[in-house]
Structure 1
């Protein structure tokens, strides 16, 4: 894992030493065992965490009962359910530990206290949310403009280790393709390497 201050800087932008100290004071270490739930659909998520080590899977069930994996969260990534954490609405997603993991967690209550303790927190939070939107835009753009093979190549380049750590149907779902399409692409890549 990267240094905690570096992770905070990456997610929230430039922070002073004092701001980092205040933010750090609100986070605590949380451990989850494999298959434990970080949060579940139709409840309200009241925490935001940074993955120190391990893997979480973010998924939902379609109306037909099919699991749709939206994201696989790994080391140094933030994880929460946005509807629950920011809007106090029931979660859309279930977030489950795929491996044993250690998180650095802040509760919703303490997150709100940051507004009082750090005068420019609203500006910091705005930068964070804009960064999240930018990531979502990039993901949407890749789904709309890239072929399935190009999405596979990009994800493989960025997350090579995951291909040996999680069932491939989860990665296929993240990439918006069927397990069959994913398998055909993977087989072709292996044959051509």
Structure 2
């Protein structure tokens, strides 16, 4: 199961504890366009995406701003809402059929009893989330639109064939026209 492999690879939990942790995650499915979480609600789960894509976005008047697109093999939650129980700032909507394994807040908190060094593991997980965010901010501040496109493409090529271009453009901080122009230039070169 990919969830077990993900836990082993990313959380460095001893093998005998991995099955205990994985058992706390419950499988579920969401249909295309279903919401994983809505703005203003509480995100009460952390999920591993087995299949499909979930777009994290906000509505600013008549404009939607895509913050992230999570795909297979990634964890998803509104971390601020899940950890600190604040209302979610984001909409999280399925772009296609989604299969996931989710752990609720109560079971997540019980990991401290199951895994003796969970506090350190959780600290590293939160640090990785922060570093990812920091890298995105850095790329938006220091890279040109073309550099951001190429950088993101190098790490997420599958999204360029499975997700609508306007969502990728928004996530990369550019207009759909700029995104299209860059894509055309790269394909022709």
Pick the aligned partner of 1:122 from 111, 119, 122. 119
- 2:55 is the counterpart of 1:57: yes
> In the alignment, which residue of structure 2 is the partner of 1:173?
170
Instruction: Give the match for residue 25 of structure 2.
Output: 27
Could you report, residue by residue, the CA deviation over 1:64-120 in whole angstroms, capped at 9, with x for unpaired residues?
A: 231111111001100001121011010001111111010011011110111222222
Q: In structure 2, list runs of 5 or more residues that go unmatched.
A: none
**Structure 1: gaps spanning 5 or more residues:** none
> 1:7 deviation in Å?
0.5
User: Aligned Cα RMSD in Å?
Assistant: 1.3
Aligned to 1:10: 9
- Does the Cα contact within 8 Å between 2:112 and 2:118 map onto a contact in 1? yes
Which residue in the other structure is 2:46 paired with?
48
**Alpha-carbon separation, structure 2, partners of 1:10 and 1:66:** 38
Does the Cα contact within 8 Å between 2:2 and 2:73 map onto a contact in 1? no
CA–CA separation in structure 1 for the residues paired with 2:179 and 2:173? 10
1:10 and 1:175 map into 2 onto residues whose CA distance is: 28
Aligned-partner Cα distance in 2 for 1:155–1:166 = 13
Asked if the contact 2:2–2:50 (Cα under 8 Å) also holds between the matched residues in 1, the reply is: no
Partner of 1:26: helix, strand, or coil? coil
1:161 alignment partner, one of 158, 161, 169: 158
Deviation at 1:179, TM superposition (A): 1.4
Runs of 4+ that moved beyond 4 A? none
Secondary structure of 1:96's partner?
Answer: strand
Counterpart among 63, 70, 75 of residue 73 in structure 1: 70
Structure 2 SS opposite 1:180: helix
The alignment's TM-score, normalised by the length of structure 2, stands at: 0.95
